[in-house]
Amino acid sequence: MKGGELLLEELRKEIKLAIGCTEPAAIALAVAYAIAALGAPPHEIKVVLDPQTYRNALAVGLPYTSLKGPAMSAALGAFLSPQKELLLFADLDPRDAVKAEELFRSGRARAFFDSSLQDLYIEAQVRNNVHRARACIRHYHTNLVALEGPCLNHHNLKPVNWPEPPKSIWENTTFTELFHLASQLDPGKLTFLQEAAKTNLAIARHGLRKGSGLGTGRCLPHIARQIAAAGRHDFNWAGVCLAAQAVACAAVDARMSGVPLPVATLGGSGNQGITSLLPVWLVAKGLKVKQDKAAQSLALSAAVTLWAKNKLGRLSRICASAFAGSWGIAAASLWLLGSDSTPVTRTLCNLAGSLSGIICDGAKPSCSLKVMVGVETGLKTALLTLQGLTASPSGLIAETVDQTLDNVASLARVGMAGADQVLLACSAAGP
Number of domains making up the chain = 2
Q: Residue 75 belongs to a domain with what CATH number?
A: 3.30.1330
- 313 vs 61: CA distance, rounded Å: 24
Q: Are residues 128 and 276 in the same domain?
A: no
Instruction: Point out the domain boundary residue: 127, 155, 183.
Output: 155
Question: 301: Cβ–Cβ under 8 A, 6 or more apart, which residues?
Answer: 276, 277, 280, 328, 329, 331, 332
- 105 vs 368: CA distance, rounded Å: 30
Q: Are residues 403 and 310 in the same domain?
A: yes
Q: Are residues 204 and 71 in the same domain?
A: no
CA distances for 199 relative to 4, 146, 192, angstroms? 25, 32, 10
Q: Are residues 45 and 101 in the same domain?
A: yes
First to last CA, the chain: 53
Strand order in the sheet with 109-113: 109-113, 44-49, 121-127, 132-138, 144-148
- 142 vs 161: CA distance, rounded Å: 9
pTM higher than 0.85 for the full model? yes
- Owning domain of residue 91: 18-155
The crossing angle, in degrees rounded to 10, of helices 341-355 and 175-183 is: 120
Q: Are residues 201 and 236 in the same domain?
A: yes
Q: Are residues 255 and 117 in the same domain?
A: no
Q: Are residues 338 and 194 in the same domain?
A: yes
- The pLDDT profile of the chain, 431 residues, written as one tens digit per residue, is 478 899 999 999 999 999 999 999 999 999 999 999 999 999 999 999 999 999 999 999 999 999 999 999 999 999 999 999 999 999 999 999 999 999 999 999 999 999 999 889 999 999 999 999 999 999 999 999 999 999 887 656 666 655 666 667 888 899 999 999 999 999 999 999 999 999 999 999 999 999 899 888 888 744 434 433 333 444 577 788 888 999 999 999 999 999 999 999 999 999 999 999 999 999 999 999 999 999 999 999 999 999 999 999 999 999 999 999 999 999 999 999 999 999 999 999 999 999 999 999 999 999 999 999 999 999 999 999 999 999 999 999 999 999 999 999 999 999 998 888 898 888 776 55
| 356 within domain boundaries | yes
Q: Are residues 316 and 397 in the same domain?
A: yes
